[in-house]
Amino acid sequence: MMNIVILDGYTANPGDLSWDSLKTFGDLTVYERTHASDTVERAKDADIVLTNKVVLGKAEIEQLPRLKYIGVLATGYNVVDTKVALEHGIDVCNIPAYSTNSVAQMVFAHILNVTQHVDHYAQANRQGAWARSIDFSWQDTPLVELEGKTLGIIGLGNIGKAVARIGHAFGMKILAETSKAYSALPDYIQKVTRTELFEQADFLSLHCPLTDSTHHIISKESIEKMKPSAVVINTGRGPLVNESDMAEALSANRIHAYCADVLCIEPPTADNPLLACTNAFITPHIAWATREARERLVNIAIDNVKCFVEGHAQNVVN
């Protein structure tokens, strides 16, 4: 029987799901969280390790001679040195496309929050604002209809395409910067340059991978090309946005709002300038974390292990 260790199972499964199916393939040990200093000790006897955010780099892998398989409990696998794993004959497998609909849903939760202010009005009415009104309808913010507005998308992977579909259903004009050919795009998506995207978008949603060319894709320079009424939504990776530049732009009303589910440092430091901006709306990296998406993640993770044990590994990234 193999030894299976989950290093940080809590965020994917805080107790409402089950890892028990993994016991079919070996002895299972689940840690809710693992500090970097404990990684090697906890994984030293493991044949199979599952990790979400615990790093398995060169230093760790070289101290784990029994290790044969690393399962990443996410789509992104930058926490693993895949090259070193390959050199040691270790398969690295991820969980692709498990959270597409949940993340796309969060994009529009942010967009609708900024345009409809539902929580603002609910809070105001708890404090008696509507009850004190002399009119049947009370408002103190502009309300915005999405029909006819321009939604710009950077990156048309699974999530970007799902966001485009929802935007189209709202009657929005969809622009995208993408490497895909025109012929591969539905007729409601217009392929444009990055500059055209910045200049025309009323709402700009980021869905590109984090690379050298996309690091700080949103910065002072790109913000200067945008409409002051523009809203930027980031459910991709924190460092796609220069947070200092964004906070400065928000404070100067150079951008209407920044909506993000990801930050450069997570959890954020207390001095992150975005936390003090009233027109920054930050959710704590939860777009992926609906119960349905987490259940899908756990099931795929278990299936990945099953396929590996049976000799035909799937979702191998190295």
Q: What tokens were used for 217?
A: 């894709």
Closest CA to 153 of 76, 210, 262, 235: 235
Q: What is the DSSP string of 286-318?
A: -TT--HHHHHHHHHHHHHHHHHHHTT---SB--
Q: Choose the catalytic residue: 110, 117, 207, 237.
A: 237
Q: Choose the catalytic residue: 32, 145, 266, 292.
A: 266
Ramachandran assignment for 285, one of left (phi > 0), alpha (psi -120 to 50 degrees), beta (any other): left
Give the count of alpha carbons within 13 A of 16, CB side only.
10
Task: Decide if 291 is catalytic.
Answer: no
Q: What tokens were used for 172?
A: 């929005």
Cα separation, 301 vs 21, whole angstroms: 10
Q: Choose the catalytic residue: 165, 216, 285, 295.
A: 285
DSSP class of residue 22?
A: G
Cα separation, 107 vs 182, whole angstroms: 25
Cα separation, 127 vs 129, whole angstroms: 6
Cα separation, 2 vs 43, whole angstroms: 12
CA angle 139, 140, 145 (to 5 degrees): 70
Task: Decide if 42 is catalytic.
Answer: no
Ramachandran assignment for 232, one of left (phi > 0), alpha (psi -120 to 50 degrees), beta (any other): beta
Cα separation, 20 vs 54, whole angstroms: 21
Task: Decide if 237 is catalytic.
Answer: yes
Active site residues: 237, 266, 285
